[in-house]
Each structure stands twice: as C-alpha cells, then as structure tokens.
C-alpha cells in the first residue's frame, strides 16, 4: 500500500517532453517499428502516434511506484520513455512483466537508435502540450483507440445493411417465379383448400445460385470490414484489460452481423427478417458500452452469455474451441514474422508451427478456414525461417522432406521454396523444390501407405508437382498406380477432389465438401475410367452438372465418380466436335 503521506508527482515539463521527442524516433519497445508520429494519407502534418510513459509511476500505487523518489527525478528524462499507444498501456497493465531495469534498457536503446539514425521528432511548445494532454489525461489517451473502434464498427454496420438490396433483389425474383407458377395452376386438397405449388427443382436451383452469388458478393465487401473491427477490438483489449467484457460483446455482435449479412432466410415465403437490422443495432450498442469502458465511465453490463449445457457433444465442442484458440494464439505469435522482414529466425517457434501444421491436416482449406488451415500455417513457418542461415535452411529442407504424411512435407517445402525465392536465395529455393520432387517421384502410388493422411489436401501435392514438372508427369504417375492397383480408385477420387464451401439455407452455417466441377490437367482420366469399369461397373455419369452434396446412402467414391464420368464424357464430346 502506498504511504498516505506520499502524493502524485507533477507532470514532466513541456521542455522535457520536447527533449524526449527530439532524441527518439520509434516506440521504445525494441521489436515495435511504430513511428512516434505517423503519416496518414491525405494529411499534411504527421499524426501523434505515441505518449510519454513513466518507468516509475507518477501516482502512489501506480506501476513501478518508487517510494521516496523526488519530484525532480520522477519527471526527469531518465524516468521517461516514449511508447506507441498500445505498448504504453501494456507496460502499465502488466507491470510485473516490465521491470524498471528492463524499461531503462529500452530507454537507453531508444536514445541509441536516435544516435545511430540522427532522426528524431523536434516539436514546438504547442505540440508538446498536446503530447502532455494525451499522455496524462486518461479520457484523451483512450481517444485514438476509441475513435478507431467506433469508426470501424459503424462502417461495418452501414456497409452490411447497404449491401442487402443485392440478395433481396435475387430473392424477389424467386418469389415472382413462385407467384407466376401458382397463378397458372390451381390445386386443392381433399377438403377444398388451395395448395401452394412450388416451381421445379431446376428453377429453384437457378434462383438459389443467383441468391448465393449475391451473398458471396456481400461477404467480399463486409468480410474485410469485419476483420478490421476485430483487429481494432484487439487493440482496445490490449489498451485496457478492464475493457475485456465489452470487447467480447463487440466481437460477438460482429460475428452475428457477419452471419446475418451472409445468409438469406431460405424458407417459404423467402421474405427477409429483422435479423440484419437487429444485428447492426447490437453492434452499435456493444460499441457504445466499450466506448464508455474506455472513457472510464460506468458502461452498461454486457448481455450474459448462456452457459453451455454440459454433455459429451458439448464437451467435444469446448475441447475443439480450446484447441482452436491455442492454435490461433500460436499463429498470432508468428504473424509478426510475416510483416517484419528483419526478424531473427526462431527455431523453437518454427518447430511449434510444424506441429501445428500436422494437427490441421484434416481441416480443408476453404474461405472460412483460410487463416488457420494448413497452407497458412506452413506459410508462417516459412516466414519465421526467412532469416535462418544457409546451413539452417538446408537442415530444415532435409527434415521437412522426411515428414509424414506426405502433404506436410509438400506444403512446408512449397512455402519454404516461395519464401527463399522472395528473399532472392535462389540456391535454397531450388534445393527445396528439387528435394520435394525427388520425394514425390520416389513414392509408390499403387500402395495404400502413399495415400494415408493425404486425403484432405491431396491437390497441394499434385498441383505444385505438375507446375514444377508438367501435368503429364503427374498424370503418368497416377495412371501407373491405378493400372497396377485398380483398388486405389477410391484414394484417387477422394484425394484429388477439390473442396468448396456450402452454406445452409436454414441457419447460415457453412460446411466444406468435395465436388468435381472440373478436372485438373494432371487428373488421370483414362486410368480412372479403366479402374471404374473394374471397381464400379454399375456407376454411370450423372446427367446434371449441379452437385448438391452426397445423397444419403450413396458412398462418397461413387458420387464423385459419377461426376468425373460426366466431365470425362463432356471433355470427349468437345474434343470430338473440335476435331
């Protein structure tokens, strides 16, 4: 407890503030590249991006308070350092992690950076007064973070609502088709009541596609705005740990707004509901609560979240949620390497990312999983290794080549090849590529072991293989496997099928499914036809190019084979016409 006789020290003088800025350029946190002033597009003068932080607090009981410290020492440059807004809050919110000794080291390094670069931020008395207000007036301190959250959320809400006319127009066309069908046909039940007639499935599917295309357009517009809101909320959470409940409220409301904007009520009469407008209103209410929290006011309590009913299914979901949270936290730790090109190689972090890649081999890489699925993890692993020595990269290539399942080796080496090319280390890029090509060529694709673990991401093996050699090389390898072992047909059909993401017409949930819309140039069509005649002589080509998923009771391989047969027939027909 602070001594009752001790009182707050006075603020640093404006002359001290000016001296600090004239001898510093970036945030004192050693790994933070943020300038103390930033240049905004269209703004002539740089915008303040920092505040003065105390190593030993001004206020009794504050972070790293030093009893008996004189006012002169407390407000001197030796007790002050300049931080970007988020890091200035971090060192105070988590004072146990940031000792006075550590912060003194940062202060010395910040001055050394100035001495090395001879570039600081000379400011006048008025600008120093602005800095002092931002640094020592809590409501003003929160203003930059608060403004960014409010602006991002409001833009997200406005844009989500403004994009509704597109799907609405597409749904209106479907309703007109239904009305026209009933205007031409009157059907009654046994009691004389009129029965509403639905148009044909083909008409429904056509209109459904148009609605879904419109919704895809909405997601393309509002998806980045949603991510921006979450990023700004993360900054607010980082700024003040006390705001966490209201940050959670905003994040939940943003999730619901994205879901509401991305679906259409696909049940008769196919009219829109108030879900979107209610979701937009909830986002604004949540942001209002967060704003009050950041300003130090008395914010409204966030809505309570119902406790989940505990059963085996929910326990599995909670376990999955915890695992995904840990996975995403790891990726967040690694993302600075993808942004800052000079960060040193961290072998331990790279090893963690490889383990994480192995753990997500069963997650298809579709739109909603792009940020955390296999290719994204492998890309971060490559970024972390960007500045490894030649010897270290060579060792990684040897280790990655031996990893199994094979898709892990392929994805890691492809991303490492890309990273080495980007950094103009061509010899290492060639080594990564040639190592993978040798490993792929050495596989016996007629055996079951060659396919185990590769079912979800098989195209991430064969597509780069064909790019680096030719489609004919890959096709020949797969044709040889099928001709030698027709029983491998299921493996080929499942592993080579592309993934797409479907949306439920009822609740807006999304699921990933395989579907053959076209055949890759390397796909072994002729060998598949020969193996199909042996393994599935009863399967015939589907008559429709619309794939609405696997019907109940139909084996996956047979469903996919029917579409492959259709595509093969169409390809043969086009070839015949052109000949």
- Domain final residue, candidates 496, 514, 532: 514
pLDDT for residue 384: 95
Domain assignment of residue 223, given as a range: 146-294
Do 360 and 279 fall within a single domain? no
Dist. CA 171–CA 181, nearest whole Å: 16
Q: How confident is the model at residue 41 (pLDDT cuts 50, 70, 90)?
A: low
In the predicted structure, residue 412 carries a pLDDT above the cut 90: yes
Report pLDDT digits (tens) over 367-391: 777 778 899 899 999 999 999 999 9
Which residue bears the tokens 């990023």? 231
Q: Do 356 and 474 reside in the same domain of the chain?
A: yes
pLDDT of 511 reads 78
Q: Is the domain of 412 the same as that of 359?
A: yes
Between CA 292 and CA 155 the distance in angstroms is 19
CB 386, CB 359: distance < 8 Å: no
**In this structure, is residue 74 part of a structural domain?**
yes
Check: pTM over 0.95? Answer yes or no: no
Shared domain for 275 and 164, answered yes or no, is yes
Q: How confident is the model at residue 433 (pLDDT cuts 50, 70, 90)?
A: very high
Is 254 in a helix, a strand, or coil? helix
Show the tokens assigned to 462: 């064969």
The string of DSSP codes covering 100-127 is HHHHHHHHHHHHHHHHHH-------HHH
Q: What are φ and ψ of residue 306, in 5° steps?
A: -55, 140
Report the percentage of the chain scoring pLDDT > 90.
40
Residue 245 has what pLDDT?
A: 87
Q: Domain boundary at 118, 136, 154, which?
A: 136
Give the pLDDT of residue 573.
59
pLDDT of 42 higher than 70? no
Q: Are residues 330 and 276 in the same domain?
A: no
Q: Are residues 104 and 49 in the same domain?
A: yes
Given a cut of 90, is residue 95 above it in pLDDT? no
pLDDT tops 60 at residue 139: no
SS3 call for 75 = coil
Domain closes at, from 116, 136, 156: 136
Q: Rounded to whole angstroms, what are the CA distances from 52 to 14, 62, 74, 134, 141?
A: 11, 15, 13, 9, 11
* Tens-digit pLDDT profile for residues 474-517: 999 999 999 999 999 999 999 998 888 776 655 556 778 888 88
* Domain identity same for 128 and 158: no
Using CA atoms in the order 555, 557, 560, 562, what is the torsion angle rounded to 10 degrees?
-80
Number of structural domains found in the chain:
3
């Amino acid at each position: 407890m602070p001594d009752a006789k001790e009182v707050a020290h006075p603020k640093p003088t404006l002359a001290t503030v000016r001296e600090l800025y004239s001898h510093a350029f970036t945030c004192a946190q050693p790994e933070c590249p943020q300038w103390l002033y930033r240049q905004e597009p269209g703004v002539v003068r740089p915008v303040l991006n920092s505040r003065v932080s105390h190593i030993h607090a001004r206020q009794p009981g504050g972070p790293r308070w030093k009893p008996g410290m004189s006012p002169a020492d407390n407000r001197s440059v030796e007790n002050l350092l300049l931080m970007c807004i988020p890091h200035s809050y971090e060192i105070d919110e988590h004072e146990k992690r940031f000792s006075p000794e550590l912060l003194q080291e940062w202060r010395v390094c910040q001055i050394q950076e100035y001495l090395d670069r001879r570039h600081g931020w000379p400011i006048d008395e008025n600008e120093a007064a602005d800095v002092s207000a931002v640094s020592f007036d809590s409501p003003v301190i929160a203003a930059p973070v608060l403004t960014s959250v409010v602006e991002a959320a409001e833009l997200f809400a406005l844009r989500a609502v403004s994009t509704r006319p597109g799907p609405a127009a597409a749904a209106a066309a479907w309703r007109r088709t239904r009305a026209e069908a009933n205007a031409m046909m009157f059907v009654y039940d046994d009691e004389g009541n009129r029965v509403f007639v639905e148009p044909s499935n083909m008409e429904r599917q056509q209109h459904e596609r148009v609605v879904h295309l419109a919704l895809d357009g909405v997601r393309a517009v509002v998806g980045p705005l949603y991510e921006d809101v979450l990023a700004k909320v993360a900054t607010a959470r980082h700024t003040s740990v006390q705001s966490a409940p209201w940050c959670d409220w905003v994040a939940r409301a943003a999730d619901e707004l994205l879901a509401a904007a991305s679906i259409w009520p696909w049940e008769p009469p196919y009219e829109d509901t108030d879900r979107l407008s209610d979701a937009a209103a909830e986002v604004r209410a949540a942001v209002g609560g967060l704003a009050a929290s950041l300003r130090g006011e008395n914010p409204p309590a966030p809505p309570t979240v119902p406790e989940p009913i505990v059963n085996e299914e929910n326990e599995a979901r909670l376990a999955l949620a915890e695992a995904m949270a840990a996975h995403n936290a790891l990726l967040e730790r690694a993302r600075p390497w993808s942004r800052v090109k000079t960060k040193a190689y961290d072998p331990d972090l790279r090893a963690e990312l490889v383990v994480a890649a192995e753990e997500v081999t069963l997650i298809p890489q579709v739109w909603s999983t792009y940020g955390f699925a296999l290719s994204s993890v492998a890309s971060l692993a490559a970024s972390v290794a960007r500045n490894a020595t030649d010897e270290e990269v060579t060792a990684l290539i040897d280790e990655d080549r031996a990893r199994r399942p094979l898709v892990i080796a392929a994805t890691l080496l492809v991303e490492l090849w890309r990273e080495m090319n980007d950094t103009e280390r061509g010899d290492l890029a060639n080594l990564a590529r040639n190592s993978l090509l040798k490993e792929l060529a050495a596989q016996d694709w007629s055996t079951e072991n060659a396919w185990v673990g590769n079912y979800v991401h098989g195209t991430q093996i064969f597509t780069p293989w064909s790019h680096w050699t030719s489609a004919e090389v890959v096709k020949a390898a797969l044709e040889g496997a099928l001709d030698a072992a027709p029983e491998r047909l299921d493996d080929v059909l499942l592993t080579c099928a592309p993934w797409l993401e479907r949306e439920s017409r009822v609740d807006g949930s999304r699921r990933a499914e395989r579907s053959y819309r076209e055949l890759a140039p390397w796909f072994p069509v002729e060998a598949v036809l020969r193996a199909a005649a042996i393994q599935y002589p009863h399967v015939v080509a589907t008559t429709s190019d619309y794939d609405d998923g696997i019907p109940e009771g139909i084996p996956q391989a047979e469903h996919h084979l029917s579409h492959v047969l259709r595509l093969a027939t169409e390809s043969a027909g086009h070839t015949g016409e052109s000949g």
